[in-house]
Structure 1
Amino acid sequence: MNAQPRIHPRPVPQRALAMLTQAGIHPLLARLYAARGVVAPSDLDYSLGALLPPDALTGTREAAELLADAIEAGARMVIVADYDCDGATACAVGVRALRAFGADVHYLVPDRATMGYGLTPAMVELAARMEPDLLITVDNGIASVEGIAAARAHGMATLITDHHLPGDELPEADVIVNPNQPGCDFPSKALAGVGVMFYVMLALRAELRERGAFAGGKEPNLGDLLDIVALGTVADVVQLDRNNRILVSQGLARMRAGRLQPGVRALFAAAGRDPARAASTDLGFLIGPRLNAAGRLSDMSLGIECLITDDAGRALNIAQELDKLNRERRAIEADMQEGALARLEGFDAAESASVSLYEPDWHQGVVGIVAGRIKERLHRPTIAFAPGAEGEIKGSGRSIPGLHLRDALDLVSKRAPDLILRFGGHAMAAGLAIRTGDFDRFSQVFEEVVAGLVSPADLTRRMDTDGALESGWMSLEGARLIEQDIWGQGFPAPLFDDVFRVENQRLLKDRHLKLQLVRGSTRFDAIRFNHADGAPPDLRAAFRLSINEYNGVSSVQLMLEHFEPA
């Protein structure tokens, strides 16, 4: 049932490689950078001074004036967040910065199961009980036409900060800040919701500075929030263009220097990871999932409280609760994935361009993860559904390169106008709601739309690698060089491939294959997780260089992502 990948070494532009090497960049890193489109050393300037200026982002100046006026008037503000890691971090950045500027600010986050996503009219009614003068959205709002109308009817001023793609109609908010709104020519369209909010806070500080707000005291240092910004940016799997790499690099530098917010420090402790060695992969695979678990199984207020408290003890207690929720989430996910794979027994990838799944006992907060796992396994756009509101099922989808998932759902809604009740999202991930009885019809229309949009090449899983790795760099030094750099969506972590002889192999815990591989005269320890089938005597493997630490001793280990007979 697994879609077998085709290993494809990335080309390395020689001119860029020469320029980077001549500039004194380490030869291994120069090769990896050149293969990822870096053409000049200046592309690797990750200093704060290299950030795109806030003024370049449409609406930041107007947002700063609106917020500064509200602070001067003592107005009450309420932030309406989203229930994922990006929404939680964006909310935390807003609350921390605005309180540092003297604002009266509170927050609300919808319950995934009962309220759904975004600023709905029902969410506005909830916010109205807090009597805000100004309603601010983070990581949502660009599609909330009815919600903003409801807020205006209550006499609230409204500020939308979002990064999602807008629909045909924009809400009538006082100010919208979104790099993807029509007419915004901000060069980085990949800002996460937390990045947008950080930019708004930078613009607000500049506005308050102009008004002399800090004349009698110390100006708040927004750089202290960059650990939170980096976490949300990596966890939301937005493309790590240069501007996002600056934000992540600056955040990681602060983590490694021990300059963390108490909540971020507590999340590292709960994950058993030393922030002094923080890597972008930690944010995506260890810290982000623990924060996300609150929004998936409980209430994201728990995650936001972890990020905004200054009490280290309280932060640690919350982080331990989040860790417990994450373990629970993993158990639920394992059960759901097992059920999904059982349903897909005998699935013929050659006959289908998409996968749609629904089980009445699935958990709404975990379907997105299951969709992602099935997508990885079958290399097909996948949408998994779970029961939602009365008479509805809610789906979460993950896509493959070559299919823009939100655009595909837009086409489904145009072909069958009564089918999708609500939808939204990005190229690679999207959510939707349909009526319970419409699952089969949706599956059919979605399959037809996807089949019409993708080519056979799109449906062939391609594993881009960095080719063979010289023996000298298959070392702790090489592994540490790679670990300390910035990798993520659009700037993928290095993956190498080479041919090895298998000297011995055994199973760990009946599910992980542990191998000793030989290349030339050198032996390497290797592991392939969640793979119980034996390896051939000679294999071609795609692998990542990693550091295995056992009893205080560090050694190089190859993490195998795929292998095939050599």
Structure 2
Amino acid sequence: MIVDGGPSGSGAFLGVERSLSGRAWRQRPAAAAVVRAHMQGLGLDEPMARALASRGVGADQGADFLTPTLKALFPDPSSFLDMDAAAAAIVDALSAKARVWVFADYDVDGAASAALLVRWFRAMGADLPIYVPDRLTEGYGPSARAFDTLKGQGADLVVTVDCGAAAHAALDHAASIGLNVVVIDHHLMREQPPRALAVVNPNRPGCNSGQGNLAAAGVVFVLLAALNREARRRGLFDGRAEPDIRAWMDLAALGAVCDVTGLTGFNRALTRLGLGVMSAWGNPGLKALLAAAGAEARPATTNHAGFILGPRINAGGRIGRSDLGARLLSTDDPAEAARLAAELNALNVARREVEAAVTEAAVRRVEASGAHEDGSAVVVVEGEDWHPGVVGIVAGRLRERWRKPVVVIGVDAVAGVGKGSGRSQPGVNLGRAIQAAWEEGLLLAGGGHAMAAGLTVASDGIGAVRDFLNDRLAGESQVAAGQDWVELDILIDPGAATRDLFDAFERMAPFGPANPEPLFALDGVQARDAQPMNGGHVRCRLVGADGASIRAVAWRCADLPLGQALLAGQGGLKIAGRLKADDWNGRRGVQLEIEDAADPRMA
């Protein structure tokens, strides 16, 4: 049975004012008129229509949301500030047979962005070498040292992707040595752009593209359309096939998912269609990496991109060679792809071990001091020799645990420098606060997004940065904490949690920021056959009053109130969770991934 489970808009869903994670529950608010419009116009049942309306899908937007197309949603490349100038500069260099390099960030988005450009150049009969800075020795983004190296190797033009928008000093140096630069980025930046032939960034002040939710790979994908248009205008396709950029949408989707971008509008279309392209597993690097991970070549989902492929591609930049990911995604040689995939998979195993050790140490340090529950706006924790390649992942884990922004800093005691990464809560713009700290002279470097940011700081200045961030974010964090609801879609009985229900809501995929995965509630269930798993996970069956049950899992919670309630086999629980496909041994079922629980006896 599926029922409407609580008040809409305001008020506690199922009466849960404080769950085992300390949060209140509410049903996602939705305008009744829009719900009716979706039911009538799209032929949807009420729960599905309500889910669309609650995600801001307007009465006239449902068809484009459920069946997005590039034709309907692709933006005019010229709407991006400097896009035409960037395309002209790159085609100029290509036509002149100038030496062009792509300079990429070392994460998935940077690797995918670089691979997109490499593939376009290859289709045009040209080589495009890749330069990716080393995380440990060069840090993030362009530097004078890197530009000197590229100039020494004969570069005439450098295209930076997923970096460069804030690299004023480095780009000033590039200009001083006669090296031309085009910047393609999406990170927050200052009003005044750096010195370059073009700075394309949908988050650049003055850019009217309306595409600020794109990952860098999405911006590069639009650039490829601009390059095709510019090359077509110059007659470069006379006697040559025009590159079909749609064949590379899998790389754009990979960047969008792994950079945790808002999956709405054009970005949603690009991601959904890109996952469709990925499903053919035609990219040799992605196919090899999937095999190295021991995963089946099934239709691609955000799970493939975000949890199987992404961490392995990132492993090269985190604790290995920074260019491995970009090389993997750009190669057409299956043998080379297999070698690179095996190396990245091994690095990912090592990365997990390093991450677990740093996470454990950080949790001990913070919880011993009480900094996670002292009312502060942000947790800033540092430790000597914490690998800078994993601090961002650890910050994300701790943010989930404590429900507040977290910055984790690895300190090099010999150099007296800490390199850190932060993850934030919705409603708290951590990237803007980090940028402000840099402008105040408290950081050696810093910047990022609202939800994620990086910084470099003198080790003796960490205390001042902690105080600054707590003061700066106090107001935002107070508001965000009051809005840290568990937002649910519908109440169901365990017996109604079927594959048909899962498949119906999968029409809304891909899920991510701005399009959250549907969250279902169960009421009055008991956890049975609960078992702890490696990594602090808990498996169990959730059994309703009528005896119907569903398999369930809760991640990284064995030492938290949620995990303890499940392991104790408590009954009468209210459960919030996401339905996931369960195809083990061909069963084609579902299981519930538990997000939260409430015990009425503990209210």
TM-score w.r.t. length of structure 1: 0.94
Within a 5 Å distance, the mapping from 1:317-396 to structure 2 comes to: 317-346=339-368, 347=370, 349-387=373-411, 390-396=415-421
- Matched pairs, number: 562
Task: Give 2:537's aligned residue.
Answer: 512
**C-alpha deviation, 1:135, in angstroms:** 1.1
- Structure 2 letter corresponding to 1:474: A
Match of 1:30 among 37, 41, 49: 49
**C-alpha deviation, 1:138, in angstroms:** 0.3
Distance 2:63 2:553 in 1: 37
- Structure 1 letter corresponding to 2:37: M
Distance 2:527 2:598 in 1: 16
Q: Which runs of 5+ in 1 are unaligned?
A: none
Task: Give 2:427's aligned residue.
Answer: 402
For residue 558 of structure 1, give the secondary structure of its aligned residue in structure 2: strand
Note closer, same or farther for the CA distance 1:96–1:343 as it changes in structure 2 (3 Å cut). same
Note closer, same or farther for the CA distance 1:60–1:506 as it changes in structure 2 (3 Å cut). same
- Structure 1 letter corresponding to 2:224: M
Note closer, same or farther for the CA distance 1:448–1:152 as it changes in structure 2 (3 Å cut). same
- Structure 1 letter corresponding to 2:555: F
Q: Which runs of 5+ in 2 are unaligned?
A: 1-19, 559-563
Task: Give 1:170's aligned residue.
Answer: 193
CA contact (8 A) 2:494 2:522 kept: no
More displaced, 458-467 or 295-304?
A: 458-467
Within a 5 Å distance, the mapping from 1:475-494 to structure 2 comes to: 475-483=498-506, 485-494=509-518
CA contact (8 A) 1:58 1:177 kept: yes
1:542 aligns with 2:576: yes
1:425-466 CA-partner distances (Å, limit 9, x unpaired): 011111111111122232222222222443255366322221
Match of 2:64 among 43, 50, 55: 43
CA contact (8 A) 2:438 2:446 kept: no
**C-alpha deviation, 1:549, in angstroms:** 2.8
**C-alpha deviation, 1:294, in angstroms:** 0.8
CA contact (8 A) 2:493 2:522 kept: no
**C-alpha deviation, 1:478, in angstroms:** 2.0
Distance 1:96 1:261 in 2: 11
Distance 2:43 2:153 in 1: 54
Task: Give 1:78's aligned residue.
Answer: 101
For residue 240 of structure 2, give the secondary structure of its aligned residue in structure 1: coil
Distance 1:393 1:479 in 2: 45
Distance 1:191 1:516 in 2: 39
Task: Give 1:432's aligned residue.
Answer: 455
Match of 1:150 among 164, 173, 179: 173
Note closer, same or farther for the CA distance 1:365–1:382 as it changes in structure 2 (3 Å cut). same
Task: Give 1:497's aligned residue.
Answer: 521
More displaced, 514-523 or 147-156?
A: 514-523
RMSD: 2.1
**C-alpha deviation, 1:505, in angstroms:** 2.9
Q: How much identity, in percent, do the aligned residues show? A: 35
For residue 326 of structure 1, give the secondary structure of its aligned residue in structure 2: helix
For residue 593 of structure 2, give the secondary structure of its aligned residue in structure 1: strand
Task: Give 1:214's aligned residue.
Answer: 237
Distance 1:63 1:384 in 2: 36
Distance 2:282 2:493 in 1: 37
TM-score w.r.t. length of structure 2: 0.89
- Structure 1 letter corresponding to 2:145: A
More displaced, 163-172 or 105-114?
A: 163-172
Distance 2:244 2:496 in 1: 40
For residue 492 of structure 1, give the secondary structure of its aligned residue in structure 2: coil
CA contact (8 A) 1:188 1:241 kept: no
Match of 1:551 among 575, 579, 585: 585
Task: Give 1:8's aligned residue.
Answer: 26
More displaced, 106-115 or 350-359?
A: 350-359
**C-alpha deviation, 1:128, in angstroms:** 1.4
- Structure 1 letter corresponding to 2:25: I
More displaced, 106-115 or 120-129?
A: 120-129
**C-alpha deviation, 1:298, in angstroms:** 1.0
More displaced, 344-353 or 433-442?
A: 344-353
- Structure 1 letter corresponding to 2:472: V
**C-alpha deviation, 1:479, in angstroms:** 1.9
- Structure 2 letter corresponding to 1:228: L
**C-alpha deviation, 1:470, in angstroms:** 6.6
Note closer, same or farther for the CA distance 1:191–1:457 as it changes in structure 2 (3 Å cut). closer
CA contact (8 A) 1:268 1:287 kept: yes
Match of 1:126 among 131, 137, 149: 149
1:211-244 CA-partner distances (Å, limit 9, x unpaired): 2211212221111110011001110011112111
**C-alpha deviation, 1:377, in angstroms:** 0.9
CA contact (8 A) 2:382 2:409 kept: yes
Note closer, same or farther for the CA distance 1:273–1:132 as it changes in structure 2 (3 Å cut). same
Match of 2:296 among 274, 281, 301: 274
Distance 2:101 2:572 in 1: 61
Distance 1:112 1:177 in 2: 24
For residue 491 of structure 1, give the secondary structure of its aligned residue in structure 2: coil
CA contact (8 A) 1:71 1:104 kept: no
- Structure 2 letter corresponding to 1:8: R
Note closer, same or farther for the CA distance 1:457–1:173 as it changes in structure 2 (3 Å cut). closer
1:6-52 CA-partner distances (Å, limit 9, x unpaired): 22220232222222222335435433222111113243241120211
More displaced, 451-460 or 534-543?
A: 451-460
More displaced, 197-206 or 14-23?
A: 14-23
**C-alpha deviation, 1:75, in angstroms:** 0.7
Distance 2:381 2:539 in 1: 33
1:302 aligns with 2:324: yes
More displaced, 382-391 or 423-432?
A: 382-391
Task: Give 1:108's aligned residue.
Answer: 131
CA contact (8 A) 1:88 1:300 kept: no
- Structure 2 letter corresponding to 1:331: E
**C-alpha deviation, 1:543, in angstroms:** 0.8
1:530 aligns with 2:551: no
More displaced, 319-328 or 381-390?
A: 381-390
1:408-431 CA-partner distances (Å, limit 9, x unpaired): 2234345xx342111110111111
For residue 254 of structure 1, give the secondary structure of its aligned residue in structure 2: helix
